[in-house]
Structure 1
């Protein structure tokens, strides 16, 4: 084991070098941080659904192709509840709201409501496509006629109003592309746009940004708030709005998390070290690590997401814990000798290698996510692991340099530290004296947890991240109930040939497919409405046949279909662009569905994909896309990626433990106490009905990376004393007294770091905090009781111990 001694000597030499060059070291580190920090202004947030998939993902590519052709399918829904939507005063107020939305919302394509609902009529010699209430005119004399037109139009029910006529819907379509180029310059759309800088239309188009979507949402919230009263209740929903609301919650929560965590860390550090330097220096180290981490994300254009928002709190806890281990050793030796250089040398030699190993094991736990098919999870893995390594540099280089520079007052060992040593001595004795019982009970707990794990069910339902009485959740559930869905699935029928959609057979197959879809109801998932080219064609055919309802059907002649669609496209309406491409080779089927668990979408999609694909010939390609399809795909990828992450994290950490301990058998067995926290998490989730979703899936690998830290510190010191010839009992007691206090405090800091998530406005973050903090607590108990017990039973007495 001479290699371990040589490594410790290297850390001692590093300590001497840093001590002698402390100011230069501090300056060099600060220059690195400033260089990274210059990228902070480029950090962006992304709460979009497609942002969960890598840009190279086949599903993402198909979705981008869909948006390029048909526009953005993420909409904002404004459902207004009243006693009677066809009341004159209500319609006038609705028209005023509609007009204000059209005039004042940024980055939108169009606003659709009952006011401008499409009304297709035929005269003796022409086709007229007009708004139901032309120019926002609500007239008492024509109100009944307009009501009859609206109620007779089968397309409008469940799209713009419900069956009871107590809810009406305003649908806002946003721009597909951003109004700015990658350099932030406004793109010139027309010469009258005097506020734009220079034309960049030749540059690659950027999709509507998260920031632009947020501005739309904020404007919608401000405008609709002015109109609400007892007879004009507003419900806001839609995937675009939901993404914006999540972003608002993220901003608020992230700021709150960091503030609360800082207060808790300051309190813990003050109680432990009772020195200003013991509080300030770790905080400086942590702040610089977080700044560097976020700057790295900005540098590599990785967005801040609902997943990566845990990173600041995570790093704060991890880097504080590493700082505590170094400072605990430093202050302990400094209290004995009063020699700062000697104390720093002792701390680096004693804890440097252990801190490196704990940082690497934690980084390995996070790095295991970097191969995830879910983009934000992969980003978390890449940047959290990189930031831990960067934080390690700050702990082992910057922190010693700052200690070397400061003038520290010599203080003798405090009385409360001696009491803590007595307490730790008793814990060691308890574990050693009851080794067999502790191992047996732990084995039973593992078996029970495994049984719980067999009952685990996967789920991913972003809506339930909000409390049941949250306005957003209430609005979505209300719209799902009253207007039969707030989400959409998209089906693309590609004939593969120009004007292929003029074929009556193709259109009849589309109609047959929608008839099938409209009958579907699988538990919570149902189809509330389908909207296709066929609806436009049937409206037009009826209008051109003296508005006779008997002609609300697909013409059987190809040339007649072509002629009617031509007449519609020349009527002044651009609605046809929403359903077909310019060559009439591709058609879009929009399917309204409720916002339910993504797992249920998977089962539902499997069924309809099989059925609808069989409806069309092999010459016609049928593909599925849209936000609902993306959600289902994301959850499927999350399950697969999480399983791979667990295997990778466990394997990497086990290898590190074997290297640290120098014994394959003991190294593997020492992983048992770190499996216990993971299994405890599963038992808690099953027992309390916590969904095993994208966020709770992260807990296991993160908990493993964090939990093993205490095991590393214990085993590092235990092996050191064993090599000195100490018995298992003596080595255990000395390990507890030497590093036990730091283990307790770092566990407390880590737990508090995740318990601050209990203040989150979204339950997914609340659950994440509870589960991770619980895992850390269980890991602490396992390291204090189970690890010593295992060593007591496994380690054979050395010759000197047998005498």
Structure 2
């Protein structure tokens, strides 16, 4: 069994070293903090989704291959809304907006709109390709209506470029690939510039009559970044306010508020500043978790240290001895808590996504730096000041409501152990049943909610007749050049398109088949029955030759020069990662079934979202169990008993069970945000458990009684455990005021998990210790325990 008293003596010696060099500690702290502030200016952010993946990820390799053949799959778009888009004024503004987008947006490739569309017409000489809207837009209503009827006769346009009621139009700006050396030309990712510029252009006063709504991944990413940056600052401010109130209430001193906040904010600055020097690039939407966690952990560590300092200072009046006592009593449990928390967070490295690894490493670094500041900086600052007159009172008197509650709990938890464990078992069964009901899914509406302005906008776009939310591409690579021209292959592709159109998420599908059908119809007097694939390869080849001779270039977006590879673009009106996974798998399976010798490639935003969700889900589940095993081994080794390690894991696994149960019953999806909760909770919950068991083991050595040792634990650290849990719960409860569903859900889930850990530590852990006796056999009889309990006098817990 671990000799905790010996370890504590070593920490007391360390505390003496801290006080001996306290001015040096302050100077070093100020130098490091000043240098870190400079490093903050070097921090780099990046919202490019490609950079979420590791460099050798198969999805990135596939995307690079796709771009070599077909160019970029990215686009930005504007949904135009008017009483009639076929008026001279509306068409003129659509044309002006299309030209402005093409001219001003970096890496713009081309525009597809009512005024910029390859419109094919059959002539006596063959095929003519021009524009639907003449350069001089007519004012005559009859001429405009004739143009409208021509557009309605084109399946390539109706309910794709404009709605059949003529109230909506879709302006799509297709993008070129962004080169890898973009940093040589831009200070920030061009995708951010693209999204911002599209919003700026569409938002001009001159286009107000078009009621434009922007969409496309670059636009969505910019809007998400802008929203989250403001939301996170607001929530962090509330978290700071709650923290100040808790510290003021619990520690009742100016130092008790200022010093922990100084430690917390300094830790955040130091870690982020060092990352700036090391050239760390991160997605700004992922910074909130490390920052909130760093604040909560720092304040929690400070409360433990202040609790022991004030108890000793109140009873002895000697400031120096009180500081040494605080370091002696908290140094080891805080170190062990920090190490186990870091192990849980480092488990994020098992997820092959850069931002999630950033969250894990940054959070772990924050916990490590927080511990150093708590054990070095806080004692240094507390050592300055005058001594006071000592005051010793009996345990349970003048302790305040919380102190008296801890004294009562110390006896009550053993009153009905069988009932307590029965209730605990029933709750475990209920939560396990709830876990079986939760859904693994990322859904932008369920995750963020319509109260978020940009989400409401893109939802409106996605639900319209012509707009889309996201898109993905399916590319088929045949065995031989020219295979795309075979009518049989084209019909099989068409059958895949027809099936994809039936998918719940699909809005529209575009492919080379659409162009071939359109040309066949145009060459046959525009008759609807000729909107089909020709019967022979020669006819297909002739159509494409006529198309090229007429100046058509759109087909190059959908088939390569050798007609060996073909592309399908699927635009979505909604997104759900679970359904998307199913639909993508159907395309893969159908492609292999119809073209056994061909390769089927899936790229685009939806493919990336879906793969990320898969990586996140299974990676976090794996990392959770690995972290749980590692922490169990650490506890077993440190406490010198496998039995103790297993007992300690029960209050640490319980939060995950409760969170999973709440998610199942409340229909909260396991997505890219909520999936990070369980490993994080494991790291946070272990803090209270370590303090409880560490002090229980220490008191057992002194008393020889499990009941008496647990009673003393409640008096010594029970209040601190309550207050640290309260800090975490109220800190993350700032999420509850967010208009974003995922933040609100995380506030509920994290609060539920931390509360569960505290309750299990209070009521279940003492019973398990008494039942299984992991520290050895008791050496005190029950009568002696009761008598000793009545006689025992404890220093006052001012908390």
Structure-1-length-normalised TM-score = 0.89
In 1, Cα distance between equivalents of 2:412 and 2:688: 19
SS at match of 2:414: helix
Relative distance call for 1:147 and 1:686 in structure 2 (3 A) is: same
- How many equivalent pairs are there? 774
Residue 516 (structure 1) aligned to one of 496, 500, 513: 496
Relative distance call for 1:583 and 1:412 in structure 2 (3 A) is: farther
Following TM superposition, by how much is the alpha carbon of 1:353 offset from its aligned partner in structure 2, in angstroms?
A: 0.5
Is 2:112 the counterpart of 1:112?
A: yes
Q: Within 5 A, what are the aligned runs for 1:517-596?
A: 517-520=497-500, 524-525=504-505, 527-540=506-519, 565=544, 568-569=547-548, 574-596=553-575
Following TM superposition, by how much is the alpha carbon of 1:670 offset from its aligned partner in structure 2, in angstroms?
A: 2.6
Q: Within 5 A, what are the aligned runs for 1:661-700?
A: 661-700=639-678
In 1, Cα distance between equivalents of 2:180 and 2:582: 38
In 1, Cα distance between equivalents of 2:272 and 2:739: 22
Q: Within 5 A, what are the aligned runs for 1:745-756?
A: 745-756=723-734
Is 2:116 the counterpart of 1:130?
A: no
Following TM superposition, by how much is the alpha carbon of 1:770 offset from its aligned partner in structure 2, in angstroms?
A: 1.2
Partner residue, 1:492: 475
Following TM superposition, by how much is the alpha carbon of 1:58 offset from its aligned partner in structure 2, in angstroms?
A: 0.6
Q: Within 5 A, what are the aligned runs for 1:305-316?
A: 305-316=284-295
Deviations 1:757-792 (CA, angstroms, capped at 9, x unpaired)? 123332112111210011111211111222222223
List runs of 5+ in structure 1 lacking aligned partners: 187-205
Partner residue, 2:788: none
Residue 442 (structure 2) aligned to one of 452, 460, 464: 460
SS at match of 1:29: helix
SS at match of 1:54: coil
In 1, Cα distance between equivalents of 2:489 and 2:220: 34
Residue 768 (structure 1) aligned to one of 720, 731, 746: 746
Partner residue, 1:429: 411
Following TM superposition, by how much is the alpha carbon of 1:312 offset from its aligned partner in structure 2, in angstroms?
A: 0.6
Partner residue, 1:276: 254
In 2, Cα distance between equivalents of 1:71 and 1:767: 40
SS at match of 1:518: helix
Relative distance call for 1:517 and 1:125 in structure 2 (3 A) is: closer
Deviations 1:112-142 (CA, angstroms, capped at 9, x unpaired)? 2112122123555585432322447344263
Q: Within 5 A, what are the aligned runs for 1:328-727?
A: 328-404=307-383, 406-407=384-385, 410=388, 417-468=399-450, 470-481=452-463, 482-483=465-466, 485-495=468-478, 500-501=481-482, 504-505=485-486, 508-520=488-500, 524-525=504-505, 527-540=506-519, 565=544, 568-569=547-548, 574-618=553-597, 620-727=598-705
In 2, Cα distance between equivalents of 1:608 and 1:83: 38
In 1, Cα distance between equivalents of 2:345 and 2:714: 28
In 2, Cα distance between equivalents of 1:130 and 1:658: 77
Structure-2-length-normalised TM-score = 0.89
Deviations 1:354-392 (CA, angstroms, capped at 9, x unpaired)? 001111222222122221134322221222112211222
Relative distance call for 1:535 and 1:520 in structure 2 (3 A) is: closer
Is 2:220 the counterpart of 1:219?
A: no
In 2, Cα distance between equivalents of 1:613 and 1:484: 30
Relative distance call for 1:263 and 1:546 in structure 2 (3 A) is: same
Deviations 1:402-440 (CA, angstroms, capped at 9, x unpaired)? 333x33564767986454322210111111222222122
Relative distance call for 1:215 and 1:485 in structure 2 (3 A) is: closer
Relative distance call for 1:727 and 1:551 in structure 2 (3 A) is: closer
Q: Which moved more, 1:415-424 or 1:354-363?
A: 415-424
SS at match of 1:348: helix
Partner residue, 1:147: 148
Q: Is the 8 A contact 1:370 1:380 kept in 2?
A: no
SS at match of 2:566: strand
In 1, Cα distance between equivalents of 2:740 and 2:289: 13
Following TM superposition, by how much is the alpha carbon of 1:313 offset from its aligned partner in structure 2, in angstroms?
A: 0.9
In 2, Cα distance between equivalents of 1:167 and 1:214: 22
Following TM superposition, by how much is the alpha carbon of 1:485 offset from its aligned partner in structure 2, in angstroms?
A: 4.3
Deviations 1:542-594 (CA, angstroms, capped at 9, x unpaired)? 65677777765556676776675466456555434422345544321112233
Following TM superposition, by how much is the alpha carbon of 1:221 offset from its aligned partner in structure 2, in angstroms?
A: 5.6
Relative distance call for 1:800 and 1:470 in structure 2 (3 A) is: closer
Partner residue, 1:196: none
Q: Is the 8 A contact 1:109 1:173 kept in 2?
A: yes
How much is the aligned-residue C-alpha RMSD, in angstroms?
A: 3.0
Partner residue, 2:790: none
In 2, Cα distance between equivalents of 1:416 and 1:510: 86
Q: Within 5 A, what are the aligned runs for 1:165-184?
A: 165-177=166-178, 181-183=182-184
Relative distance call for 1:226 and 1:686 in structure 2 (3 A) is: farther
Relative distance call for 1:403 and 1:567 in structure 2 (3 A) is: farther
Q: Is the 8 A contact 1:673 1:782 kept in 2?
A: yes
List runs of 5+ in structure 2 lacking aligned partners: 785-799
Deviations 1:648-706 (CA, angstroms, capped at 9, x unpaired)? 12112212222343221132023222222221112211222212222222222211211
Deviations 1:719-773 (CA, angstroms, capped at 9, x unpaired)? 1111113422321222112111211111111112211112333211211121001
SS at match of 2:109: strand
Following TM superposition, by how much is the alpha carbon of 1:32 offset from its aligned partner in structure 2, in angstroms?
A: 3.6
Is 2:759 the counterpart of 1:781?
A: yes
Partner residue, 1:190: none
Q: Within 5 A, what are the aligned runs for 1:31-70?
A: 31-70=31-70
Q: Which moved more, 1:688-697 or 1:118-127?
A: 118-127
In 1, Cα distance between equivalents of 2:515 and 2:430: 60
SS at match of 1:711: helix
Q: Which moved more, 1:130-139 or 1:284-293?
A: 130-139
